[in-house]
């Protein structure tokens, strides 16, 4: 069946990339705030640094995709140059979102600058002075960036939920689903970059040697957190479907497109549930249990080491795809 879609891959790309960037910043800030003056921060500083550096770029790329999807990109300037008081008393998701994205990018960029190796970049007293300031400002910036990042992830859902004529989008569970998925994909991006950086040439039976202490100490906890996020996302997806079935409006009809027999069922159950969630959870859960129960060293084949976070990133893209397209092929509805 042919459907006329108003929103295409640029919007899907924005929802995914903005969520990924926000999730990476949130993970980085949480790591910094976990124990800013203790031993943990020094062992996990690499994770925080990678998250801070990864975060702003996907948001900028995604926002550019969204702007060009408008058809007339210069119209995006109107959202920032319009009267602030008019925006305050006549709110709209696009007006508020444009200012919010700008604030997020500014603070996320400043936060990332606190992780630069200023002593190496600027030798002498100036480099030492900037390094000391960065250390001092890192935690306060993390305090600002964590709620901003979570709000940014929520905003990607509000952009859809603000359209009441699309019953698949107009649900209070969507923001929670996109937020959990954003943190999961942001964490997966951090782990993937870290694994590429710390691949060692020496291998034993196909497993990668991890000799760097920062990598060795944080790997187990990061994967554990990722499995917990996968389980949480599966629970929220269940709530999303259950909420739609319990409503008396068109949401019950709209969610049928995701269930067996629906037009988006294959993409949803294979791309999101199987590839993006269940397979990584089972594979990573096996190695976690082997370490926790049998006391084996946490180490696995490099192909799994890389493919598991890639599968989660793929699932994040497919989740936005089925929601954006599924919402358009099941609406609009009458009032």
Residue with tokens 């994909």: 185
Residue ranges of domains in the chain, CATH in brackets: 9-329 (1.20.1630.10)
Cα-Cα-Cα-Cα dihedral of 157, 158, 163, 164, to 10°? 100
**245 and 255 Cβ atoms separated by less than 8 Å:** yes
Global pTM value: 0.86
Q: Are 327 and 254 in contact (CB under 8 A)?
A: yes
Radius of gyration in angstroms for the set of CA atoms belonging to the chain, rounded to a whole number:
21
pLDDT in tens, the chain (335 residues): 556 677 788 899 999 999 999 999 999 999 888 765 555 555 678 888 999 999 999 999 998 888 777 666 555 555 555 545 555 555 666 667 777 888 899 999 999 999 988 877 777 788 788 888 888 888 899 999 999 999 999 988 988 887 777 888 888 899 999 999 999 999 999 989 988 876 654 343 334 444 454 455 567 788 889 999 999 999 999 999 888 877 766 777 788 888 888 889 999 999 999 999 999 999 988 888 887 777 766 676 778 888 999 999 999 999 999 999 988 888 655 44
Tokens of 314: 């793929």
Residue 258 dihedral angles phi and psi, to the nearest 5°: -95, -20
Provide CB contacts within 8 A for 94, sequence distance 6+.
Answer: 79, 159
């Amino acid at each position: 069946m042919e459907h006329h879609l108003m929103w295409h891959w640029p919007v899907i790309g924005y929802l995914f990339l903005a969520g990924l960037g926000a999730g990476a910043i949130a993970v980085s800030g949480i790591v910094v705030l976990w124990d800013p003056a203790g031993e943990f921060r020094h062992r996990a500083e690499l994770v925080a640094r990678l998250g801070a550096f990864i975060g702003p770029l996907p948001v900028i790329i995604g926002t550019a995709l969204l702007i060009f999807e408008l058809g007339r990109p210069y119209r995006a300037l109107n959202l920032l140059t319009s009267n602030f008081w008019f925006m305050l008393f006549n709110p709209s998701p696009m007006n508020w979102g444009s200012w919010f994205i700008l604030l997020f990018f500014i603070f996320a960029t400043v936060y990332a600058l606190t992780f630069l190796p200023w002593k190496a970049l600027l030798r002498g007293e100036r480099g030492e002075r900037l390094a000391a300031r960065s250390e001092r400002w890192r935690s306060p910036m993390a305090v600002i960036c964590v709620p901003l990042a979570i709000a940014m992830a929520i905003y990607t859902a509000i952009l859809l939920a603000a359209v009441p004529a699309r019953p698949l989008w107009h649900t209070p569970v969507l923001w929670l689903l996109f937020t959990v998925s954003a943190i999961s994909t942001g964490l997966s991006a951090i782990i993937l970059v870290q694994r590429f950086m710390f691949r060692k040439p020496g291998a034993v039976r196909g497993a990668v040697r991890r000799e760097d202490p920062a990598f060795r100490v944080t790997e187990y906890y990061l994967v554990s957190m990722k499995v917990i996020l996968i389980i949480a996302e599966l629970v929220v997806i269940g709530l999303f479907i259950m909420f739609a079935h319990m409503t008396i409006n068109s949401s019950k009809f709209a969610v049928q497109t995701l269930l067996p027999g629906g037009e988006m069922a294959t993409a949803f159950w294979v791309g999101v549930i199987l590839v993006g969630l269940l397979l990584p959870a089972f594979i990573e859960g096996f190695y976690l249990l082997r370490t926790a129960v049998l006391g084996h060293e946490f180490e696995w084949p490099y192909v799994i080491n890389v493919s598991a976070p890639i599968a989660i990133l793929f699932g994040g893209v497919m989740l936005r795809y089925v929601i954006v397209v599924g919402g358009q092929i099941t609406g609009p509805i009458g009032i």
